[in-house]
């Protein structure tokens, strides 16, 4: 489909170049813009169940004289072409009637805007799609959006309802900072190599700069093959080997308080819905804007070492800084974009 679209687009460009009323611009520049656009759009057309309809829309749009004219007469930065094209796809009949398609295209577009630091453009995109998507702002745009949940970029411990499992979990961590830090020191002494946290190149350019030791992965199943030192992770259980060798204090504190352990019937909405990790970052590490797949998760951050100085966490429009042994105000709902 993409190859046919490119051939037909080239024909449209040649026709326009020969027209006497069209300002002559570089054919190569027009094709370069299209190539960049194709690279942006390709994942949307190849990795989803609705790709046939989208590919047809792309073919019709990219090969139209109007689109060729826009590239030739009003050449825009590739970023603006990306916005215009993605909005066209989002409003297309093949996508606008399918919530998952619409949410995927719109969410990915807003991510790209924020990663290019085009926050005003992201706001305009959200406004243009306001009647089609349920998101309250251009900072919160999970593909799966659960309506009716209270939404704010940052939650403090006092914002959590008294007597709830989550409030007790947060208070327990903060009140026992010292013994959790003891576990961290054991891990640093005995675990020479920490696995990379994430390998996505769009998220972090050097994965080895952001590493973790994972004590818990709630939806892991023994037959899934996820192991540490040969010991598999178990469904809704803290990792036995890591808890006994490295982090007995942390595991003792958290056992029974983790929502997925306290209620094994609690539904998960994404693969890594619930985890417990010791994270480490090298100085100068930058993680790109990202968020959860859905808006039904709150992440608790507690700094154990290396806090302060120039390190910070950006959550939507708010900039947060870590304080040793404190959760406040680092709790956040991670369907908001953060970096």
Contacts with 36 (C-beta within 8 Å, 6 or more apart), sequence order: 78, 81
Same domain, 300 and 266: yes
Domain stops at, among 112, 128, 144: 128
Residue 311 belongs to what domain range? Answer: 154-333
Residue 339, in any domain of the structure: no
Measured over all CA atoms, what is the biggest interatomic distance in the chain, rounded to whole angstroms? 79
Same domain, 165 and 305: yes
| Per-residue tens of pLDDT for the chain, all 339 residues | 556 666 666 666 666 555 544 454 556 666 666 666 666 666 656 555 555 666 666 666 666 666 666 665 555 666 887 888 888 888 887 788 888 888 988 998 898 889 888 999 999 999 999 999 999 999 999 999 999 998 888 888 888 888 888 889 999 999 999 999 999 999 999 987 888 888 777 788 787 899 999 999 998 876 677 888 888 899 999 999 999 999 999 999 999 899 999 998 999 998 889 999 999 999 888 888 888 889 988 899 999 998 877 888 888 888 888 889 988 555 566 666 676
Residue 338, in any domain of the structure: no
Residue 140, in any domain of the structure: no
Q: What are phi and psi of 88, to 5 degrees?
A: -60, -45
277 forms beta bridges with 214
Q: How far apart are CA 214 and CA 92, in angstroms?
A: 42
CB contact burial 144-173 (16+ within 10 A = b; e otherwise):
bbeeeeeeebbbebeebeeeebbeebbeeb
Same domain, 158 and 281: yes
Query: Would you give the DSSP letter of residue 305?
Result: S
Token match 């007469």: residue?
73
Residue 283, in any domain of the structure: yes
Same domain, 177 and 319: yes
Residue 137, in any domain of the structure: no
Q: What pLDDT score was predicted for residue 236?
A: 94
Same domain, 121 and 53: yes
Residue 139, in any domain of the structure: no
Same domain, 261 and 188: yes
Same domain, 177 and 321: yes
Q: What pLDDT score was predicted for residue 208?
A: 86
Same domain, 166 and 297: yes
Same domain, 165 and 124: no
Q: Helix 65-73 vs helix 2-17: angle between axes, to the nearest 10 degrees?
A: 60
Residue 29, in any domain of the structure: yes
Same domain, 114 and 203: no
Which pair of tokens denotes residue 132? 């089609």
Q: What pLDDT score was predicted for residue 3?
A: 61
280 forms beta bridges with 211
Q: What pLDDT score was predicted for residue 312?
A: 86
Same domain, 276 and 180: yes
Residue 259 burial (CB count, 10 A): 18
Give the number of domains in the chain. Answer: 2
Query: Exposed, middle or buried: residue 192 (CB in 10 Å: 0-12, 13-18, 19+)?
Result: exposed
Residue 318, in any domain of the structure: yes
């Amino acid at each position: 489909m993409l190859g046919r679209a490119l051939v037909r687009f080239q024909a449209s460009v040649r026709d326009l170049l020969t027209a006497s009323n069209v300002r002559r611009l570089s054919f190569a520049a027009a094709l370069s813009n299209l190539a960049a656009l194709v690279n942006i759009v390709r994942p949307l057309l190849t990795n989803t169940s609705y790709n046939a309809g989208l590919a047809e829309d792309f073919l019709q749009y990219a090969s139209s004289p109007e689109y060729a004219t826009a590239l030739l007469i009003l050449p825009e930065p590739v970023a603006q072409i990306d916005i215009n094209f993605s909005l066209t796809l989002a409003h297309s009949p093949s996508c606008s009637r399918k919530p998952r398609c619409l949410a995927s295209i719109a969410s990915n577009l807003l991510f790209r805007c924020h990663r290019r630091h085009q926050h005003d453009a992201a706001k305009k995109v959200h406004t243009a799609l306001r009647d089609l998507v349920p998101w309250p702002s251009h900072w919160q745009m999970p593909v799966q959006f659960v309506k009716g949940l209270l939404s704010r970029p940052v939650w403090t411990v006092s914002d959590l309802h008294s007597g709830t499992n989550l409030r007790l979990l947060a208070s327990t961590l903060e009140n026992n900072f010292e013994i959790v830090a003891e576990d961290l020191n054991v891990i640093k002494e005995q675990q020479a190599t920490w696995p990379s946290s994430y390998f996505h190149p769009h998220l972090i350019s050097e994965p080895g700069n952001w590493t973790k030791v994972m004590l818990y992965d709630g939806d892991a199943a023994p037959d899934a093959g996820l192991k540490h030192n040969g010991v598999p992770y178990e469904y809704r259980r803290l990792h036995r080997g890591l808890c006994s060798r490295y982090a007995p204090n942390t595991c003792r504190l958290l056992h029974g308080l983790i929502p997925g352990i306290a209620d094994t019937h609690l539904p998960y909405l994404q693969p890594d819905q619930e985890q417990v990790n010791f994270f480490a970052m090298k100085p100068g590490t930058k993680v790109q804007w990202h968020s959860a797949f859905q808006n039904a998760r709150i992440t608790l951050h507690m700094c154990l070492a290396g806090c302060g100085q120039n390190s910070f966490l950006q959550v939507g429009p708010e900039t947060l800084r870590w304080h040793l042994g404190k959760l406040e105000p680092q709790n956040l709902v991670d369907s908001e974009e953060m970096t």
